[in-house]
Amino acid sequence: MHLQSGDSVPQSEIASSMLNNVFRSANERDVYEARALQEISLTSLRHQYETHMASRAMYNLLSVRTRIKLEDRDQFLQNDPRTVWNANADKRLDYICAMGSKLGLHAALTNRANDIEYEFAMDIKPGLSFAGKYAQLGADQKESLLRIGSRPGEDVYIYMCLTEVLENIHSPVPEPGWCTGNTRMNSKHSRILTVFIAHCLSLMRDVTSVHCTQPYDIPLPPHPMDWTITNAL
């Protein structure tokens, strides 16, 4: 399950080989690559759908390898009056913010049975700000977010919300992205949270799905830090 590649072979090719050669018998392997190749325009597919020939179209697409061709009539070109460049922020396609419905990292986790390439890389960077200016976190984002790692194409933050906000579910929700200062978690809280995460990982030493691939020392500033006592553990 945790096979990794240390050379130039992409991980996706390894996963594909595992699925084709291990989890499926020779008689069940898909002969997709051996099928004939056809080219069809998006306009033709649209016509088949509009003339209630969707079932036939799906059968054809599944029977052969298909390359869908985009023509000028299939696109809104740059000078098309229907092309709107100042699209509203709530309709953007390159931004998504997922927030868990309860305490924990559920929003950043996935089921490896469905996504064998899932990997969460823990890399705590207290100096990075949260860029979710359209995110609705329910309270002020000032000094409350700590970047703890990443998953493919996504950054993962821990958000510390005021107890008053969590206890009063009927409190008015602020505007999305409401922030009265820098989002970076203050040093005292980020150190407490970092130590707490390290403590949790120390209790997971025997969990086979947790690996330390690149150990490193904690970079300390040149001046002594004020490490205060905390009951976080």
> Per the domain annotation, does 111 fall within a domain?
yes
- State which residues form the domain around 154: 98-202
How far is residue 103's CA from residue 163's CA, in Å, rounded to a whole number? 13
Residue for token pair 């700590």: 146
Q: Based on the domain organization, do 39 and 133 belong to the same domain?
A: no
> Per the domain annotation, does 196 fall within a domain?
yes
Q: Based on the domain organization, do 174 and 109 belong to the same domain?
A: yes
Residue 173 C-alpha from the chain's centroid: 25
Among 37-51, 107-121, 129-143, 151-165, the least confident range = 107-121
Q: Based on the domain organization, do 119 and 172 belong to the same domain?
A: yes
Q: How many C-beta atoms surround the C-beta of residue 124 within 10 A? A: 16
Among 83-92, 144-153, 209-218, 223-232, the least confident range = 223-232
Q: Is the dihedral of CA 19, 96, 144, 219 positive or negative?
A: positive
How far is residue 214's CA from residue 46's CA, in Å, rounded to a whole number? 51
Q: What is the pLDDT of residue 159?
A: 92
Q: What is the pLDDT of residue 177?
A: 85
> Per the domain annotation, does 130 fall within a domain?
yes
Q: Is the pTM of this model over 0.85?
A: no
Q: Based on the domain organization, do 41 and 107 belong to the same domain?
A: no
Q: Based on the domain organization, do 142 and 179 belong to the same domain?
A: yes
Residue for token pair 């096979």: 3
In a 13 Å sphere around the CA of 92, the CA atoms on its Cβ side amount to 12
Q: Based on the domain organization, do 150 and 190 belong to the same domain?
A: yes
> Per the domain annotation, does 226 fall within a domain?
no
pLDDT category, 219, cuts 50, 70, 90? low
Query: Of 164, 91, 80, 181, whose CA–CA distance to 130 is shortest?
Result: 181
How far is residue 122's CA from residue 182's CA, in Å, rounded to a whole number? 23
> Per the domain annotation, does 55 fall within a domain?
yes
Q: What is the pLDDT of residue 1?
A: 45
Q: Based on the domain organization, do 149 and 62 belong to the same domain?
A: no
> Per the domain annotation, does 150 fall within a domain?
yes
Query: Contact at 8 Å (CB) between 185 and 145?
Result: yes
Q: Based on the domain organization, do 44 and 140 belong to the same domain?
A: no
Give yes or no for residue 82 having a pLDDT over 60. yes
Q: Which is higher by pLDDT, 78 or 119?
A: 119
- Averaging pLDDT over each range in 1-5, 11-15, 61-65, 149-153, which range is the top one? 149-153
* Largest distance between two CA atoms of the chain: 75
Q: What is the pLDDT of residue 233?
A: 46
- Averaging pLDDT over each range in 13-17, 84-88, 133-137, 140-144, which range is the top one? 140-144
Q: Based on the domain organization, do 102 and 69 belong to the same domain?
A: no
Question: Which whole number is the average pLDDT over 73-91?
Answer: 67
Q: Is the dihedral of CA 33, 36, 40, 42 positive or negative?
A: negative
Q: Based on the domain organization, do 65 and 104 belong to the same domain?
A: no
The count of structural domains within the chain is: 2
